[in-house]
Amino acid sequence: MKKKIMAFFGKKENDREKNTLGLKLKIYVNRPEHGGGRHNAPMIILTRKKAEKLASDLKKAISAKDDYVRINITGELNPKEEKGKDYSFLAMEEMKAAE
């Protein structure tokens, strides 16, 4: 069904908007260990190769002259084993809701 809808609008399944980027990372979420309501800010670590590709993709997206740039972050959540040689990742801390 999705393919028929995409074909109706004249888009291929792999087409993206010019202002949308994909960034695939390993995503690590840690539970907070300290109290006081303070949490560490999320941190993105990129290899040089991935950082250069992101910079290039951002430049292309910005030149599309849209009002925004959207970055979709995808990847494995808390991966059990290391796959490949890309050591880029996103580390963040789980936030507890205020009671």
All residues at 6 or more sequence positions from 44 whose CB lies less than 8 Å from its CB, including other chains: 25, 88, 89, 90, 91
Please tell me the predicted confidence (pLDDT) of residue 20: 86
Rounded distance between C-alpha atoms, residue 46 and residue 51, angstroms: 6
pLDDT tens digits, 17-70? 778 888 888 888 887 666 666 667 788 999 999 999 999 999 988 887 778 888
- The residues spanned by each domain of the chain are 16-93
Strand 89-93 and strand 43-45: pairing?
antiparallel
Helix (H) or strand (E) holding 69: none
Q: How high is the pLDDT of residue 35?
A: 61
pLDDT of residue 40: 72
Among 43, 59, 45, smallest CA distance to 93 is for 43
pLDDT higher at 3 or 13 = 3
Residue 90 has pLDDT above 70, yes or no: yes
* pLDDT of 1 strictly over 80: no
